[in-house]
């Protein structure tokens, strides 16, 4: 039976059961066609306070449950993701514009996030400490309580579950606010997955909503930790608001990731790597290759091959055809991408291919001779655009690569592996891939950026997850009452 065959979710939010949200409803739209696929519930700020109270009650019993029970629920969730892969991929295709291979990647990685999280409940959760007094002294990790997760539209399953799964596994309750544009793939599906997996009611709640709902989640006293993935602009606001309310915020934000191409590479192979980094999922990935820094000796050849590859990529509706790129998420995003392209051309860049669109389908675009003051060079694009900027020396390259407020991902293509590692040490980035493009993710690896790209590695890997979603508590135990001087 399909997860969403029952229409109980239509027009409702998940609070342990399907109920009406205080904000009404959202239409679930297909960006490729404009068709309405269904109706999602719309939460209101008042729903957040009720969810936090409900979650706090449910969390106490969930944290006290045997660790095997929590592990079992997470394993079941991973199994269910794989068992319903075709249905989930269908929603990813129609709701977010993901092509089939990108849907495969999301389902696989989301399941792996659950499997990795299922190992967290059985991990050692503390350490014995020395004490100068006659007592037992130790530090232990305890659940934070209720965790708020705010997830974006672009990779809705992975970017929700990578926080939801470890937070649940470690004994927390979770209030998830998916982006309204992907309320089903990023929210409704997880409500159904964990319901089927046996998660007790109230431990996970799903509240699609707008920025006001997000702000309510950040300021709600009952929510102790915020895991936010989204734009740098929004992340700054979330971080500032969380700071004023003295709560931790894990921020995974935007990127302007460079792919460095040194002159010793196979140029055709390098251009293929670069094309994948810039054009997969129509560039709507925070790690997308946003700047191609190519040695001047091979820059023209690289740009020509990259443009030839881009020009042959089919663009269209991923639910009806075998295409390489689907639609952008909405007209606002399309217009922003096109504005960056046209402004950069006005500033001296040349369009080698692309730069046009039909409806929400933006042609993969290659820009040559891009100046360092061009908007397509300096800003996060979040669209299928590959700006190429030449460099002449390693000193110039290092300056160019460092000249950004972002620090998410970095790719370095070279036959000289030591040169690649040396460059990596000089360029701030949370992720570095020598001889690969910038878009890589695995459930077992720490993930996060520096600078305007976020607050560091807070997702992925057991150590990062335990630190992200628990509190440290110091405990001492004496056999007898001590004698004090008064």
Give catalytic residue positions.
252, 286
Rounded to whole angstroms, how far apart are CA atoms 385 and 436? 18
Residue among 55, 122, 109 nearest 466 (CA) = 122
Q: What are 190's two structure tokens?
A: 């997880």
Comparing C-alpha atoms, which of 303, 250, 308, 293 is closest to residue 438? 293
Structure tokens at 116: 């990795």
**β 146-150/225-229 pair status:** parallel
Measured in degrees and rounded to the nearest 5, phi and psi for residue 302 equal -60, -45
- Phi/psi of residue 335, each to 5°? -65, -35
Backbone φ and ψ for 214, nearest 5 degrees, come out as -60, -45
C-alpha atoms less than 13 angstroms from C-alpha of 102 in its C-beta half-sphere: 29
Q: Is 454 left (phi over 0), alpha (psi -120 to 50) or beta?
A: left
In sequence order, what are the residues at sequence separation of 6 or more whose Cβ sits closer than 8 angstroms to the Cβ of residue 323?
A: 99, 314, 315, 316, 317
């Amino acid at each position: 039976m399909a997860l969403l065959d029952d229409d109980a979710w239509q027009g409702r939010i998940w609070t342990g059961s399907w109920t009406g949200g205080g904000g009404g409803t959202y239409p679930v739209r297909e960006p490729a066609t404009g068709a309405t696929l269904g109706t999602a519930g719309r939460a209101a700020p008042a729903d957040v306070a009720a969810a936090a109270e409900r979650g706090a009650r449910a969390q106490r019993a969930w944290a006290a449950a045997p660790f095997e029970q929590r592990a079992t629920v997470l394993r079941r969730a991973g199994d269910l993701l794989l068992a319903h892969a075709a249905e989930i991929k269908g929603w990813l295709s129609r709701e977010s514009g993901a092509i089939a291979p990108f849907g495969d990647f999301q389902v696989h990685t989301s399941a792996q996030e659950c499997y990795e999280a299922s190992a967290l409940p059985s991990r050692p959760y503390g350490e014995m400490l020395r004490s100068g007094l006659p007592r037992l002294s130790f530090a232990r990790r305890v659940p934070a309580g209720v965790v708020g997760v705010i997830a974006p539209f672009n990779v809705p399953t992975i970017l929700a579950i990578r926080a939801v799964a470890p937070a649940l596994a470690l004994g927390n309750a979770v209030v998830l606010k998916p982006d309204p544009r992907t309320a089903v793939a990023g929210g409704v599906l997880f409500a159904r997955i964990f319901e089927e997996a046996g998660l007790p009611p109230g431990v996970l709640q799903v509240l699609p909503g707008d920025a006001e709902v997000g702000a309510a989640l950040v300021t709600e006293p009952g929510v102790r930790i915020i895991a936010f993935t989204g734009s740098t602009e929004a992340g700054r606001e979330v971080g500032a608001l969380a700071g004023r309310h003295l709560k931790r915020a894990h921020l995974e934000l935007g990127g302007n990731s460079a792919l460095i191409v040194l002159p010793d590479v196979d140029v055709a192979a390098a251009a293929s790597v670069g094309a994948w980094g810039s054009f997969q999922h129509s560039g709507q990935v925070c790690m997308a290759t946003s700047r191609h820094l190519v040695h001047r000796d091979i820059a023209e050849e690289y740009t020509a091959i990259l443009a030839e590859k881009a020009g042959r990529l089919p663009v269209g509706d991923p639910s009806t055809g075998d295409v390489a790129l689907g639609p952008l998420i909405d007209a606002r995003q399309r217009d922003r991408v096109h504005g960056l392209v046209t402004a950069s051309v006005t500033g001296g860049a040349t369009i080698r291919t692309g730069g046009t669109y039909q409806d929400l389908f933006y042609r993969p675009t290659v820009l040559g001779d891009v100046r360092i003051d061009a908007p397509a060079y300096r800003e996060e694009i979040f669209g299928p655009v590959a700006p190429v900027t030449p460099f002449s020396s390693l000193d110039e390259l290092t300056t160019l690569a460092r000249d950004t407020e972002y620090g998410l991902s970095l790719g370095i293509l070279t036959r000289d592996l030591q040169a690649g590692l040396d460059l990596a040490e000089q360029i701030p980035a949370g992720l570095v891939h020598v001889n690969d493009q910038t878009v890589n993710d695995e459930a077992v690896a720490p993930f996060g950026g520096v600078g305007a790209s976020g607050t560091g590695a807070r997702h992925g890997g057991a150590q990062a997850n335990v630190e992200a979603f628990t509190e440290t508590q110091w405990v001492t135990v004496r056999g007898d009452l001590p004698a004090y001087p008064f």
